[in-house]
Amino acid sequence: MKNSILKIYSKLGIHSARTKNISKHVFLSFFYKGGSILASFLLVPLTINFLDTENYGIWLTLSSFIAWFSFFDIGLGHGLRNKFAEARANNNLELAKGYVSTAYLTITIVAFVTFIIFIIVNYFVDWTKVFNTSNSLFNDLKLLMPIVFGFFCLQLIVKLITTIYLADQKHSMQGKIGFITAAFSLLVIWLLSMFSKSSLLLFGTVFSAIPIIILVILNLFSFTNTYKSVKPSLSFFKKKYLKDIFGLGFTFFIIQISGIILFSTDNFIIAKLFTPAEVVPYNIAYKYMSISQMVFAIILAPYWSSVTEAYIKKDFKWVKMAMKNLTKFALVFILLIIVMVLVAPISYKLWIGNSVSIPFTLTMAMALYFILTIIYKPFTYFVNGTGKIRLQMYSIALTALLNIPLSIFIVSNTEYGVTGVIIATIICIIPHTILCPLQYNKLINNRATGLWNK
């Protein structure tokens, strides 16, 4: 088996240990991601059937709203990823353990304080008005919101283990956890649909709890086996480690907030400007076209931490070859998107039947959006791996500020309807599509100065 794999590597021109490791985890990730995509797609009609279209729209909007709070990790996840990778590249296990311990303790404190604040705020908020839905859901939402948010806060803590796997270039673990979570969620929701009455409260509680259970098990396993040497310990918490992680992490923190505003507000905007039910066709079109990015992300994922290692060791030859290959992959996925647009009506009918109507203009706009993201993603991963992310921070922050008012303007002054929301996002990411490749060229050719090199 090992000899067969080596022959495949040779034919594909894969020679370096770093590239072999990436290839191994990409192959595994394709299997896990394929299973996750299949499970998530099967989950959509099952959930619509269990909740009905309006309640499913509320859940999608609620989920997007909760996702906005992912910035409460204050960039520690990304900061830990880069710093842990650097420590491992320099064979400094004590430093790696210090970074892990400091990150876990800090994010635990942040999550706890955040949850207490939310409980207080929840007492005064009428969520039916926030989500533009029926007053009959007042009590359910009042109870569901702190439950979902509580599980979300726990996830901020326990998902750090996947960051460690990513930093250690064991990239397929994140895909494996995603696959197990998606498959288990599908099974549980199917059981609910068979043996329980429709309930947004029950669905939200169960759906939010599943990833926490799986991640807690992974933490327990990893810190008693694979990562026993870097198991979090209070005695290893140090302010200087927090400064190292947070220094880089804060910039990632700004990027995260901006990314949430830019990419995760669409469902909320649609629910407010139209109705929660209108979120459903938008989300279905997004899920369908996002297949291209999901698969491309499998290939991209290993490169972040691998670039960190290569950049520290000044292996620029490997970086250039890797980026050349990723550009070729990007062209393939752009062609895939074009094919997906052509067969979209058939795909929608096979997937969800006639329960939801998806305008072709919405599919076209989604396709353009994902084409642009696929163009700049490889360069973003390179920049993230080097830690030279100040320019990216300014770029995405400025476009994020523009996204919501531009969405409202286009929806209010054109006849595009919900399609206008994704058109606004497309306009916003165009500068990012130009700046990322430019910064890569400057950095890799040692011509980056000023903001390009920060």
CA dist., res. 282 & res. 259, Å (int): 19
Task: Label residue 172 exposed, middle or buried (CB < 10 Å: 0-12, 13-18, 19+).
Answer: buried
The answer to whether residue 43 is domain-embedded is yes
The answer to whether residue 3 is domain-embedded is no
Which residue carries 């729209």 as its tokens?
A: 57
Number of domains in the chain: 1
The answer to whether residue 52 is domain-embedded is yes
Cβ(176)–Cβ(32) below 8 Å: yes
Q: What is the pLDDT of residue 68?
A: 62
The answer to whether residue 184 is domain-embedded is yes
CA 204 distance to own-chain centroid: 20
| Amino acid found at 436 | C
The answer to whether residue 138 is domain-embedded is yes
Q: What is the pLDDT of residue 335?
A: 94
Q: What is the pLDDT of residue 2?
A: 42
Q: What is the domain extent for residue 444? A: 14-453
CA dist., res. 19 & res. 333, Å (int): 21
For 106, other C-beta atoms within 10 Å of its C-beta total 20
Cβ(57)–Cβ(279) below 8 Å: yes
User: Among 47, 173, 159, which residue's Cα sits nearest to residue 103?
Assistant: 159
CA 208 distance to own-chain centroid: 16
CA dist., res. 229 & res. 93, Å (int): 7
- The contacts of residue 61 (CB under 8 Å, 6+ apart) are 131, 267, 268, 271, 276, 279
Label residues 4-19 b or e (16+ Cβ within 10 Å = b): eeeeebeeeebebebb
Q: How many CA atoms within 13 Å lie on the side-chain side of 228?
A: 4
Residue 222, token pair as written in the block: 């990893």
The answer to whether residue 55 is domain-embedded is yes
CA dist., res. 397 & res. 391, Å (int): 10
CA 310 distance to own-chain centroid: 24
For 249, other C-beta atoms within 10 Å of its C-beta total 25
Q: Read out DSSP for 71-135?
A: GGGTTHHHHHHHHHHHHHHTT-HHHHHHHHHHHHHHHHHHHHHHHHHHHHHHHH--HHHHTT--G
CA dist., res. 26 & res. 174, Å (int): 11
Which residue carries 């490169």 as its tokens?
A: 303
pLDDT by 10-residue block (mean), the chain, 454 residues: 43 52 66 77 80 76 68 68 79 86 89 90 85 79 87 88 83 81 86 80 85 92 88 84 70 72 74 78 87 82 74 80 86 93 90 81 92 90 81 83 88 86 89 88 85 84
Cβ(433)–Cβ(372) below 8 Å: yes
The answer to whether residue 183 is domain-embedded is yes
| Amino acid found at 405 | P
Could you tell me where the beta strands, DSSP code E, fall in 173-288? none
Residue 352, token pair as written in the block: 């969800």
The answer to whether residue 5 is domain-embedded is no
CA dist., res. 335 & res. 164, Å (int): 34
Task: Label residue 110 exposed, middle or buried (CB < 10 Å: 0-12, 13-18, 19+).
Answer: middle
Q: What is the pLDDT of residue 264?
A: 67
User: Among 182, 204, 181, which residue's Cα sits nearest to residue 192?
Assistant: 204
Helices and strands (H and E) in the chain: how many: 19, 0
Q: What is the pLDDT of residue 10?
A: 44
Cβ(301)–Cβ(171) below 8 Å: yes
Q: How many CA atoms within 13 Å lie on the side-chain side of 213?
A: 11
What pTM value is reported for the model?
0.64
CA dist., res. 387 & res. 84, Å (int): 13
Residue 101, token pair as written in the block: 């311990």
